[in-house]
Amino acid sequence: MDASLHIGKEALKFSSAHFTIFSASEAERLHGHNYHVQIDLWGEIDAEGLIIDVSEVKAIVKALCDELDERTLIPVDSPHLTIRDIEDDHLEIRFADRRYALPRADCALLPVPNITIESLAQLLGERLCAALRSHPRGSSVVRLRLGVEESKGQMGLCELKVDQTIR
């Protein structure tokens, strides 16, 4: 690896609602965050002096953030939730004695066991790796670190090899 590249632009953000589950009977109340995403990429510098075009990476990450923006994040792999379709294109989400009925279009159903900054970083990192693998210049990126910050000084991080298998 010749070099690294850091991207932490203000535009790489999403605002979402969630609740973190601690056990079968304990969870946070539904609340929201203004999340910010940062990326570090490592790879070989090409003849033009680039690892990869920064604007293209920003566009990929912005699209990933947009999928989560203004949504309620639902962890479909949680053993503690029951999720089902109900009338009028709504979802019913049950946790312990709580019942939420939300418009399906307002939810992002994520393949994670819990909505934490760690699981969000892992999921977004895996999705970025997949996008880079299909990108014409993505093969120059060999490793990445992606962070999801939910508040100043509190960030979940993941590090992945770009050729790593994803879920």
Q: Which of 117, 119, 125 is nearest to 154 (CA)?
A: 117
Q: Which of 82, 161, 149, 165 is nearest to 116 (CA)?
A: 149
Asked if residue 139 has pLDDT above 90, the reply is no
CATH fold for domain 3-161: Tetrahydropterin Synthase; Chain A (3.30.479)
Q: What percent of the chain has pLDDT over 70?
A: 96
Domain ranges of the chain: 3-161
* pLDDT tens per residue across span 121-130: 999 999 999 9
Contact status, residue 14 vs residue 68, Cβ threshold 8 Å: yes
Q: What is the pLDDT of residues 27-64, one digit of tens each?
A: 999 999 999 999 999 998 888 888 899 999 999 999 99
Q: Is the pLDDT score of 97 beyond 90?
A: yes
Tell me the whole-structure pTM to 2 decimals.
0.93
Q: Which residues contact 46 (CB under 8 A, 6 or more apart)?
A: 137, 140
